[in-house]
Chains A and B, each alone.
Chain A
Amino acid sequence: MSILVYTESENGKLKKAALEVVSYAKAIADQMGTSVTAVAVNADNAETLGNYGASKVLLVKDDSLKAFNAKKYAAIVANAANSEAAKVVVVSSSADSKYLAPLLAVSLDAGYVSNVFEAPSSVSPFTVKRTTFTNKAFANTEITTDVKIVGLSNNSFGLVESGGSASVEDFSPSLPESGVNVESIDKATDKVSIADAEIVVSGGRGLKGPENWGMIEELADVLGAATACSKPVSDLGWRPHSEHVGQTGKPVASNLYIAVGISGAIQHLAGINSSKVKVVINTDPEAPFFKAADYGVVGDAFEVVPKLIEKLKAFKAANA
């Protein structure tokens, strides 16, 4: 028996979320007195997962699996879970992992809890804490099945280096046919995605028009951040839907969330509440966002943001 963790990579490079889920799985393994096995597909340097607590990596190398396929990947993880007799399987909260996990749950007859953000409060009964009601509440949830699947929120547990090493074994389970085939992928490779970002810079209607987004992008650039926007901005077509964060958009769980010209409607705040540190820049001191933020600047975004960019550049230069 071990804890199995699915570790994602992109173009061979292990994602930060992969290191985080291994760190998390190691914490559960310690609670249960067992070890961690990772399963990865086409990942380079898979042995580095040892540093985060994996003792073994099952590595699938298959060029036909270059594009993610939920059904096939779920079968790989299910096979690995069976061969390791895993009682707990940990996945991340990436779009791909959330796609795969429900299929995996059905094939393993496993109870699945998503959006978990800390180590289990108890492993018997197996109880985890998850966000619910779009971050307006938490639910202590018990998984009652023999095999359990935990979906960990990104950026919630952090990376824990344990200095261990992992053996890497080739793994080639038989794969099912899939009726879903990728035709094309449209992805900005030079931009940080909201899901992966540690810092998110977000703009609202206070920016007055799409032509003013240059400074939001520049601020994001300086910080290595992803850009996002409020619902009205996406509805007005100033920014693509994929940038809309909030209750009906994407959830954000970054370390730092900077809101520029966003008043802070309840639906917006719900979606970004899992971010650790929130900064608001708004002309209106009565804006509800000030009640949700850790730091606030009452001022005109068109004056404050350029100043912030300048100061951050100086800070980066001084700390480089």
Chain B
Amino acid sequence: MKILVCISHVPDTTSKINFTEGDTKFDTTGVQFVINPNDEFGLTRAMWFKEKQGASVDVVNVGGAETEPTLRKALAIGADSAIRVNTEATDGFAVAKQLAKVVNDGGYDLVIAGRESIDYNGGMVPGMLAGMIDANFVANCIGLEIDGTNAKAVREIDGGKETVSTSLPLVIGGQKGLVEESDLRIPNMRGIMMARKKPLTVVEPTDASAETKVVSFEKPAPKGAVKLVDADNIDELVSLLHNEAKVI
């Protein structure tokens, strides 16, 4: 089984979000970048398939050279080789189109992407990719077993979960649940040394124009101060929620 894990290069969850160039670009000054958490759960599940079922695992990112340390980290965690599509990730559609070419060229059976990236939160790349390559698709995937070409997946739905049977080729939008938080691996020194020698191939992009464009970013207006209610006067809280906030 050939697995491709899509890796987004995203700001660490504690990052302060600021914009530059007239509020049209994310300001990366001082920002630490990491593997998108949803992708990391998927990568870790892919490692399990590699170790228990003899799969090969490649990772891919669509982005500039600045994303290579993130791909190297994925290699240090255990992926066999990495591909970087050398173009700016402009929107979900354009990224999916680049990935579709990588999947078709590489003949992958299983593509594991994250449910969404924690920066742009579009949540559309895995589904669009599946649509473009006409593969089966499971969104919000929290469990995945593969047996030959058959797959059993669990999808998180509003208020519960759903188990589906499907088959390869398959694309999933994965998240926590594919593996647990405690299963995530911190690369050790040996992994980091080995990652330096693993292949990281840079491929030039295919023709793909974006369908959406960000005109400008803005930040929420600063919040007013919290209204404190005395712990012995909970009646007041109920009254505020009813009369002032009008939410009960």
Contacts and interface: CB of A to CB of B under 8 A. Distances in A.
Interface in A189-244: 191-196, 198-199, 223, 235, 241-242, 244
Contact of A144 (B119, B212, B228): B212
A280 B240 CA distance: 14
**A112, A181, A273, most chain B CB atoms within 10 A:** A112
A184 B152 CA distance: 11
Interface residues of A, number: 92
Nearest to A8: B158
Contacts of B125: 102
A182 B160 CA distance: 14
Given A182-B163, A186-B162, A311 B228 contact: no
Contact-residue bracket for chain B: 35 or more
B214 A267 contact: no
A298 B228 contact: yes
B124 A112 contact: yes
B118 A134 contact: yes
Interface in B189-241: 210-220, 223-224, 226-231, 234-235, 237-238, 240-241
Interface string A99-114: 1011101110011111
B238 A315 contact: yes
A196 B158 CA distance: 8
A145 B192 CA distance: 44
A111 B93 contact: yes
B186 interface: no
B165 A295 contact: no
Nearest to A17: B158
Given A179-B167, A299-B231, A315-B238, A242 B247 contact: no
Contacts of B157: 68, 95-96, 185, 187
10 contacts: A105-B128, A131-B121, A139-B216, A144-B212, A179-B136, A187-B161, A193-B160, A294-B245, A295-B240, A315-B242
Interface of A: 67-68, 70-71, 94-96, 98-99, 101-103, 105-107, 110-115, 127, 131-145, 179-188, 191-196, 198-199, 223, 235, 241-242, 244, 247-249, 255-256, 266-267, 270, 273, 276-277, 279-280, 290-300, 303-304, 307-308, 311-312, 315, 319
